[in-house]
Amino acid sequence: MSDCIFCKIAKGEVPSELLLEKENLVAFRDLNPQAPTHILVIPKKHIVSLDQAEAEDRDLLGDLLLAVQEMAQRENLEMGYRVVLNIGTHGGQTVPHLHFHLLGGRSLQWPPG
Ligand code: 5GP
Ligand code: ZN
């Protein structure tokens, strides 16, 4: 989608601290980190949120989670980490392009606000 910031990051049209690129996804550091490690893992395909994912996206969704795991290993998050998927207004989603947050490097509180 032409006016989507994450599509632009995925295409390299907007700069980011890119950490991982695969055929169907990219991972980059969040601009406004909420933990020592805060990485976003996104599909190159524009999917607004999990709500809009379809059966044909099954492999892509699996690849995204495995990329999150790969980034956690690279960041040495042996003490644990959190994976967050915000969906829609009540879910706190601000960028309408599906993205997994990988948060780690400190003890995280529960429940979220
Ligand atoms: P959401 O609130 O939609 O779950 O998360 C969006 C995330 O994207 C936020 O954590 C925000 O800091 C991050 N973000 C928004 N715009 C940019 C950007 O242009 N570059 C990067 N690296 N992160 C961004
Ligand atoms: Zn997009």
Ligand 2 center to 79 CA (angstroms): 32
Predicted local confidence at residue 1, as pLDDT: 78
pLDDT digits (tens, 9 = 90+) for 21-46: 999 999 999 999 999 999 999 999 99
Residue 12, Cβ density class (10 Å: 0-12 exposed, 13-18 middle, ≥19 buried): exposed
> What's the CATH number for 5-104?
3.30.428.10
- Indicate the domain borders of the chain: 5-104
Pocket perturbation via mutation, ligand 1, pick of 7, 30, 38 by most ligand atoms within 8 A of CB: 30
Ligand 1 center to 17 CA (angstroms): 12
Tokens of 89: 């207004």
pLDDT digits (tens, 9 = 90+) for 53-83: 999 999 999 999 999 999 999 999 999 999 9
Q: Which residues surround ligand 2, an ion (CB under 5 A)?
A: 1, 4, 6-7, 46, 97
Question: What is this structure's pTM?
Answer: 0.98
